[in-house]
Structures are given as C-alpha cells and as structure tokens.
Structure 1
Amino acid sequence: MIPLRQLPRLLRIAGVLARHRVDELLPASRRPRSLAWLRALMPAPGADLLVLPRGERLALALTALGPIFVKFGQILSTRRDLLPADVADALTQLQDRVAPFPAAQARAAIERAFGATIEARYASFDDAPLASASIAQVHAATLADGREVVVKVLRPDIHARIDADVALLRALAGVVERTHPSADKIRPQAIVDEIETTLVNELDLQREGANASLLRRNFAGSDDLYVPEVVWSHTSAGVLTLERVRGIPVDDLAALDAAGIDRVALAEKGVRLFYTQVFRDNFFHADAHAGNIWVDATRPADPRFIALDFGIMGSLPERDQYWLAENFLALFNQDYARIAELHVRAGWMPADARLDELEAAVRTVCEPYFTRPLSEISLAEVVVKLFEVARRHDLTLQPQLILLQKTLLNIEGVGRLLHPRIDIWATAKPVLERIWRRRSGPRAVLRTLRRRVPEWLAAAPDMPQLVHGWLSRANAGEMELRVASDDLKEIERRLRHGQRVAIWLSAGVSLAVATACVALLAPAGAPPGARWVAWLLGAAAVGAFALAARRS
C-alpha cells in the first residue's frame, strides 16, 4: 500500500505524467485508467508538446518533477534492456542542472564536516558556485599553499529527499509487481534497488574521491587521460576537494578547432581509453557523457582527455570480463558461431539453447552491417542489437554489463562527435587484442603462479593430513559409488578408469608445479632449504596420488 502521506506527491506526479501524455509509452491495453481520468481534468497540452516524440515528453516530465527525478531518468537510461531505444536515448540527454542553494548553507555544511571555519581550512572560498546539480554543487577555492581547488558539497537535506522519493518509487513498484502481467521479467523492485544503490553511492563523496584516486593511479603519466588529484585532508563523506583543472568541453567543437586540437587523434584516443579501462584495469568511468569529459587545451598536437565526476564507476567480475572480451574478438572476426557458443558457455543464456538458431539470429543482425564500410558501422549499435536478439532467447545479464553497454554508447557517441568518419573497428580491435594477449598470455600465467606460490607454501603443512583423511574415507568405502544395475555398473567402471587417468595426470602436474616452484618461481633471497622443501612437497603429492591410484 502507498502511505497516505505520499498521496499528495503521488497525485502531482500523476498529473505531470498525464499532462505530458507519458501513458502513451505503454501499450493501449496496459494504460492505467486513472491516468486517462487525470488527462480529462488536466489542461490540454500545447501543440508544441504533442508533436514531440514520446521519449522527449518523458524527459520533460521528469525535469518538471524536479532534480531527483532527473537523476532517476539518467539512471534508468542505463537500462536499455527494459526501455525502447528512442526512450533510452532521450533520457540519456537529460541535463542534471538545477538552481544553486545559498552559499551560506554550503559554508555551514563544510564547517560541520571539518569542525572548523572555512577560513581555517581554505585561504579563499568563492560563494558563487561553478556548477549546481541535483546531488551537490561545486565552489572554487584555494588552499593555504596556494593550490587552486574545487569543493563539492552535498545539498542540504538531500538524504531525506532521496529516501522519500525512493520510498514512493518502491511503493509504485509494488503496485506494478502485483498488477503487471510481465512483472517477473520487468522486476520493478530490482530496478528500484539499482536506482537506490546508485544514488546512495553518489551521496558518499569520500567514495567518489576513492574512485578518482584509483582512476588517477591507473593513468599516472598517461598521455591519454588526466584525472585531478584528490585533496584527502579536505575530503569527507559530505565534502570532496579536488585539484582544479581547466579544459574545453568535448562537445564544444568550435572551441576545440580554435585551439588547434587534432580531433581525429582525440577521437581515436577516446576509443582506446574505453578498452583500456575495461579490459586492462577493469575499472571504467560509467558516466562518460560529454558534460563529464573535457579536453586539455595546452597540448593541441597530442591532446588528452580530462575526466570529471567519479560518482558512477563500473567494473566486471573476472569471469564476465573474460567472456565479454572473447565476444568482442569474435564479433571483430565475424565469427557468429563463436558468439552463440560464448553466450551459452558464459551462462548468460540457458544451457539448452539451440546454438544453430542463436547463430542464425546473430548472423541476421550482423550481416547487414558488414556490407557497409567499417567506418560507417556503429559497434555500440551492433552490441545493442545483439543483446536484443539474445534477450528473445532468454538472455540473462548482470547490471554491470548493462552499464558497460551504456558506457560504450557514450564513448562511441563522443568519438563520432569528434570525428564522424572514425573507424571504430579498426581502432578498437588491435587495442583489445594487445591488452588481452597481455592478460591471458604465458607471462600473465607465470605472474599468477608467482602470486599464488606463497599461498601454496602456507597451505603445504596441512596437505598431508588432508590427503590422509581423503584416502582414509576412500579406503573405508565412504566415497564408494554404489549402483544397482548392469548399465550403471558399466558407467561406474568407466568412471573409475577415468579417475585413475586423472590421478596420474594430477601426479604429473604436481611434479611439474614443484619443478616450476624450484626452477622458476623461488624468490632470489629464499633460504637454501626452500628448494628441498619444494621437491619434497612434489614427491609427497606424487606418492599420495600413486597410492590413491592403486587403491582405486
């Protein structure tokens, strides 16, 4: 049930949605009658509003409802698995700019956060904000050592406002969950959970500072991206102080041209940056629209980007990162069978999915694109279409992948804005192949082994007891496979044969690992007895497995 205290706000929301004819987003059979009644009571919208596409009308309605709903719309735009493409595109364009709050309130919030006056913390503080958004606003300041900084401070009572709006959204989601025939696929409560998590993370400015600090470390000394330094001594959960940077907004093409910026080189750097962040660092800027990206005007011949606003960052589980990279490489090579196979092996689709049907569907989507010059092909558009096809085959994706898809759309949009004829494929493919070779090649395997050798040595004293316990249970018959038919007995015989083969193979691998530990991975300063310990461990493993093989 919706709390009574929420009814006035709910009625206002319904009135704004009705006036903007937002109910037309829904099929006629699913439109709430209450909105139709409100339509009749509301003044007729102007002709200029009625001619707008539905996505633009929704964006205008969210803007009219206030800054928090603008933020909801921006977050919802990342869920292209739920929204029509035209609606998602319109929501992506929402601008999070609102009227500033008084400087006195900003000063009071900063002084509460640090327990000291503004004058004690900053040499100067500009009361006129540089920018103002729904969550926070930004002021220019200088530190005692003369460094120029910007100070980001949360809006007053922002936590209470967000809590109230999230509670209202959760109540509405409950209504949808009980009444909508496709609620199990839409999962409205999960959508609200995602929105709430994103907003809560954005309200923690210390978390945003940590994001900025890690991204800066990943690109230290880079000619591609500059990230402002966090001033940790002047940062808390409600206040973030960053080095002040200056640049040209990436969508101001006239200013870029006037500064002599090489836009072609800049566009190619943007594409490389995306794949580097995702597949080298597994930490990417997930709100990379034009407002959050500037260009360093001091280096026109070799331009670099400047990143801003680190509230929404993305990362992928290692498993998804592997499957995603392999899918991209298969797509670059037009290997449709491989794409179908990878989707199933990754667990994104049911194991009983028909690979031939999925391959045919992927081919149907991709082939029309590959008849055009590569410079005219939108990689982001192809990926979106592939997700749509896979969804018809019961695709299941994690929110991180949806966020990545939205980021890819943003990055490609920026790239084509700077250089409309950029060949995304030719730029992206060698970067991904080079990064992936480094991530999965022999040297990467050796680095992983070197990291894990100390763990193996720490666990080594427990191994004899564990092996003894396993062999004791096997000898007592506790691990015996019992069968009740001739067919099952034949299966048991084959399984036992396979176990013996696997045991001997494991013995060989154990010996090889012990040899590697001694020959390659022992630290230079290890004591003389370390090599003997490694050999003894290898021999013990071989003996244990041989005993198991004889008993089996």
Structure 2
Amino acid sequence: MTVQLALDLSFWQWVLAILFILGVGLVSGRILGIARGFRRATVAGVLGTLIGLVTAVAVLGDTAGEATSSVLVVVFAFGVLATMVVSIVLEVVLRRRPPGRRPSLRVRVRTATTIVGRLVEVLGIARRHGLAGRRPTSRAALATPDGALRVKSFLEDCGGMFVKFGQIASTRADLLPPALIVALKELQSDVAPVPVAQVRATLEHERRAGVDEVFAYFRDEPLAAASIGQTHLAQTRDGRDVVVKVRRPDVEIGVARDAAVLRWASRIAVQRWEGARALGLERVSDELVRSIGKELDYTEEAAYGAALRRAVLAAHVDGVDVPEVLTGMTTEVVLVMERVHGRPVSDAAAVDACPVPRPVLADRLFRAFLASMLESGTFHADPHPGNILVGGDGTVWFIDFGAVGIIDPVTLRALQLVGLGMATADTGLVARGLREMSGAAGPAVDLMTLESEISRLLSEQLSGAGFDPRALQDLLTVMERQGMPVPPAFTLIARAVVTLEGTLRGIDPGFNLATSAIEQFTSRLQDGGGDPAAVAQRELLRALPSLRTLPGLAEDIALQLRSGLVRVDVETFSAARRSAVTAWVDQVLFAAVGAVGLLVSALLLVGAGVAGPRPGTTALIAIGWIGLVLATVMLLRVVAQIVRRQSSTGADERRGA
C-alpha cells in the first residue's frame, strides 16, 4: 500500500513553513537547554521536520492524505520530537572541543584508514620480540638487559614515530629502569632523507617565493634527517648563516596513527602486565604523545626558543648562549634559526679541545639552567648531552626548543621556597612551598604529617641538607600520597634536573650538584638573592601586618567563646556539593515525572485505539498526544543535559592535562 501526501502550498504558506522549520530548530535547543549556532539549529529543524513528516505518514497510514487539523497536529508533534532527537545527536557528534591544535579533516581520514593495518603490523612485531605474551610480567623483567634489548629492538623494527617515542622515553630516568634507559639511548632513527625537490617545494609554498629569492645560499644536501623534520644549511640575503628545519610531508598523519596505536597498546599492557602498571606505561605514553604533538608546530617551538633565549641572557652567565630564532622567516612547517658552530658535550674530544676546563663548563651550564628557571620561570626541559653543544671558544649552547618549560608565577614562588628549604634543610619552608604549589587543595593538607614525611626524606636521602634530583622525585610521591595536585611544571622540572645531572657528570665526573645548588639558592632566591637570614627577615616583614592583628583577633574570639556567641555548624555537604546534589535530585525527579507521563499517555492512546470511534475518544487521543509530547520533551531535556555535562567535563579534563 502506497500513501501519498500532496503538499499544495501557496507562496506565503511556503514562507510560513520555512519559518516554522527555523523556529522549531531554535526553540528545540532552548527547550533542551542546548546553546547552538544558527546553522546547527537550521540543520536540526530541517532534518527533524522531514523525519517527523515521514514518521507521521507511516503512523497515520491512509488518513495521512486527508488535510485535517488532527493530521497536522500529529505531524507537528512528530516534527518537534524528531527535531529534539536530531539536536541531541548533533550535540554528541559535533560537541565543542577545547581550543588547541586539531588535525585537519584530511589527516583524520587518512589516519583512520591506515590505523588498522599499522596496529596489525605492530602486534606482529611485538609477538616476534616476545612482548605480546605473558613473558614481561614484572618491572624487574623489563629492567634486565635482555628485556631492555627486546623493547629497543621492538621500537626499531616498528620504525616511524615509535623510534621517536623511544628517544623521548630515554630521557625519562625518573620513571624507567636504568637498563631500559641505556638501551633506549642507543636508538637511532634510520630515516630516509626527503628529496630536495619536495623540500624546496615546501619552502616555496610557505614563503610564497623561490628558494633562491629567500636565501643567498641553500645547501641541498641535508645536515640531518629526523623523523619529524629535516635540516639544511643556508645563508640569508643579509649574510647570516642559518639552519633551516623543514617538516616532513604528511608527518602529522604518521604521528596521529602511531600515537593512537601506542595509546591502545599501553592500555592493553597496563591491563595485562604488572610490569606495565608499575612503570605507569599509560601515563608515560600520553606524555610522549603530547611531546611529539608540540614538535609538529614550529611556530610554537620558535616561541619557546625565544623565551629560553631571553631567560638565559637575563641570567648573565658568561659563556652560555641560545641561538636566535628568525621568527619572521618561521612558519608552522619551516623553522629558521641561527647556525651554531659546536659539538655535543658527549663528544669528549670536543670538550677537551675547548679552552675552558671541564669543571668550569659544568658550573656555567648548571648556573645558567638554574638561574633562568628561578628568575624567569623558563628552563630547558630536556638538557641531555645531544641538546647541549660546546663551541670551539668554550661557549655552551642550548639547542632544540621542542622541550622548554614555562613556570607560572605562583608555582615559581613555591619552587623557590622548596629549593631554599632543601638547601638549608628547613622542612617548614619545603612544606610551605608544596602547599602553595597545590593551590586550593593546599590548606586542607595536614601540615604536621607533611613536614614529617619531608623530614624523613631529607634525612634518608640528603643526609640532612643539600639538593638532589632524587629528592624532587620523592617530593612528587609525597604530594600524591597527601592528595595534593602536582603542577605539570614541577613534574617537568623534576625530570629535567635528573637529565641535567647526567649531562653534568658527563662533562665533569667530579661535579657536585648538591653543593652547587646550595650556593645558587642562597645567592639568587627571593628578589635578587641574599643569605637565609635576609630571606627570613623579608618574610617576617611581609607577614608583619598579619602578625599585628593576631592579639586582637585572639581576644575577640575568646570573648565570643565566653559569651556563647560562637558556635560550630558542621555541614554534610559544602555549598558546591550541595548545589550539585540538588541538581542531580531535580533531574532524577524530572526524569521520573517524564517517564510516568510517557507511560500514562501511551496507555491513553492504546485505550482510545481499542475503544474505537466512540464519544470521548477524540478527547482521549488529544490528551494522549499532548502528554506524549510533553513527557518526551522532559526526558529528552534530561538526556541533553547529561550529554552537555559530559562534554564540559571532558573538555575540562583535557585542558587540565
């Protein structure tokens, strides 16, 4: 049986129909409590009206062809309901994401089409190296030379971004076993260079000019070919020697694909292997993916490089420098920076050949790192030997701006207190710094318990004083044990200091980081430096206004206690939690009323249909349809609010990460 519904409308009726569709799209969002733009509301109105019309025709059958008011009411009801359903679907599919760099549609499509094949390939390689069964069941198994070698071979055979992940992981001495760190440091990217024609095409596209017009000289042979970018030597038109880094074509597709596989594999490993859980493999993989993502945008790297250069120059440490980034020639895909003539400090011959003794080089490097961090809040977050060069004149250079830490003012001041407390073995200063660093959660921490743990830490690892990278890692553990949120910058600092210690010992095996740290903290902290006594005096002066009011406050409180004017009310819920609980109760009641209304309306419609054409059934049908619409609206509103809340919560979690 075919049902045809002829729509013979005049011009003004069509105008009214369009206005109706637009109105339904906008009003449905208001009813559901969903804020949308005009385009999304229009799409919801059009799709919802069409779906409602088709549904009404299917339900009414032969009577749908009759242009009666009851038929129009049914079409309207189904149209409104369908529009609200479409609105919720659009909210789920097109939910707003936090601002930030997002892959293009082409990248997402190509990533999705290749991820399955890549996943199968990675699983096969893992089985071949004994990493897909039950063999690596503990952290100890992965910490052995054999286990570390299998992990390294697995990453090498996977190639692509997995080698890059391993190279970054080799700097995580704070999380990974020493044997695994040693093995991962041997990873080498066997990456074929990008053909020079593609490099030149990329440069011409980015600069909107020919390579020979931009540079006076451009060397076609690459200086280095890495997994993300390829570097070439060049000279600008004004005669400056520069290094040009060009991002590999479509590298973001490989990054997104391998990142998805790595995260999936980490989740599976954490579920199955105790060793993966002990290593915190899922958290490590997330950090690696974020690190790689930052390296894809060279404008971000250029900004970090400029900030690091300003911080190091402001530290006024002789013989330490940072190459200048030519921001005017840098884009998201191309990075142009000053050329540095130097060798990595891991090159013993280069270090011995420079006119500056090894102890002086190590001292300069440490003072520049610490001063830039404490005074400007900017530091090199990955100071491994490959990122520290020494020139022929003894100048130490920080290179590679893909990992630069920026400390916010609150965390910076708290870090200064922590550093001074560790240098002077004052557990009170350390505890105060950690509490300030924790933000709103700090006042709720039991200060006596916190100081007790810090005191035990100082006595066990530092012999009562000093500054040691291991202590920073233990402070992170103490904060987590006390339920104190750890700022990401502090985690980055702890990791960087561990890496820096290894670099410093490579330059000068006799370098004592603890002794140097004590000297730096006591001379540079608290607004330009000063000894601990001067620092304590300044702290006392800052607290003097509050201290003066303490006697009066104590007297007022005592009088109120004596007169019975002070009482203590204990609330089960705080104001914020009480508001959240009330909102949940309201939504549960709202959904319950909607569900009852839906059931009653359905029973009325079924009863009217069973009774047939009798007096009063028309009224029952009308009441049933109205109740059905209202009850469905109530339930859909609850669903929309739940979807909205989940979207907001997910965005907040991603921003916090």
TM-score by length of 1: 0.66
Q: Say whether residues 1:312 and 2:403 are aligned partners.
A: yes
2:459 corresponds to which residue? 367
SS at match of 2:497: helix
What residue number does 2:239 align with? 146
Gapped runs of 5+ residues in structure 2? 1-110, 539-560, 569-657
Alpha-carbon contact 2:312-2:369 (below 8 Å) kept: no
Q: Which amino acid aligns with 2:357?
A: D
The corresponding residue for 2:415 is 324
Report the counterpart of residue 426 of structure 1 in structure 2: 515
1:102-501 → structure 2 map (5 Å cutoff)? 102-172=195-265, 194-220=287-313, 223-298=318-393, 303-336=394-427, 338-340=429-431, 342-347=433-438, 355-371=447-463, 379-394=468-483, 396-438=485-527, 489-491=565-567
Farther off after superposition, 55-64 or 256-265: 55-64
Letter in 1 for 2:406: S
Letter in 2 for 1:106: V
**C-alpha distance after superposition, 1:492-514 (max 9, x if no partner):** 9xxxxxxxxxxxxxxxxxxxxxx
Aligned equivalents of 1:405, 1:206: Cα separation in 2: 26
Contact 1:81 1:402 in 2 (8 A): no
- Displacement, 1:56? 4.2
Task: Note closer, same or farther for the CA distance 1:357–1:170 as it changes in structure 2 (3 Å cut).
Answer: same
Distance, in Å, in 1 between the alignment partners of 2:269 and 2:133 is 17
Structure 1, unaligned stretches of length 5 or more? 32-48, 447-484, 493-552
Cα distance change, pair 87–322 in 1 and its aligned pair in 2 (3 A): farther
User: Is the contact made by 2:418 and 2:433 (CA closer than 8 Å) also made in structure 1?
Assistant: yes
Structure-2 separation of matches of 1:174 and 1:257: 46
- Alignment of 1:14 with 2:123, yes or no, is yes
**C-alpha deviation, 1:326, in angstroms:** 1.3
CA separation of 1:177 and 1:247: change in aligned 2, threshold 3 A: closer
CA distance in 1 between counterparts of 2:270 and 2:442 reads 25
TM-score (structure 2 length as normaliser): 0.57
Map 1:10-159 to 2 at 5 A.
10-22=119-131, 28=137, 52-76=145-169, 83-84=176-177, 86-87=179-180, 90-91=183-184, 94-95=187-188, 98-159=191-252
- Post-superposition Cα deviations, 1:394-429, rounded to whole Å, max 9, x if no partner, equal 454233222211211122112111111122122222
Query: In structure 2, do the counterparts of structure 1 residues 233 and 326 end up closer, same or farther at CA, with 3 Å as the change threshold?
Result: closer
CA deviation after TM superposition for structure 1 residue 119, in Å: 1.4
Number of aligned residues: 428
Q: Which amino acid aligns with 2:245?
A: K
Cα distance in 1, alignment partners of residues 132 and 351 from structure 2:
42
2:639 equivalent in structure 1: none
Q: How many angstroms does 1:134 deviate by?
A: 1.1
Counterpart of 1:133, as a letter, is A
Q: Secondary structure at the match of 1:134?
A: coil
What is the alpha-carbon distance in structure 1 between the residues aligned to residue 565 and residue 163 of structure 2?
A: 66
Q: Secondary structure at the match of 2:145?
A: coil
Question: One-letter code of the match for 1:326?
Answer: L
Query: Which has the greater radius of gyration?
Result: 2
Deviation digits for residues 115-139 of structure 1 (CA, Å, limit 9, x no counterpart) = 2221111122112111121110111
Q: Secondary structure at the match of 2:220?
A: coil
Larger RCO, structure (CA 8 Å, separation 6 or more): 2
Let me know the Cα RMSD of the aligned residues.
Answer: 4.2
**Is the CA contact (8 Å cut-off) linking 2:421 and 2:427 kept in structure 1?**
yes
Is the Cα–Cα contact under 8 Å of residues 297 and 332 in structure 2 kept in the other structure? yes
Structure-2 separation of matches of 1:357 and 1:231: 51
Q: What code does the residue aligned with 1:72 have?
A: F
Structure 1 residues 209 and 29 mapped into 2: Cα distance closer, same or farther (>3 Å)?
closer
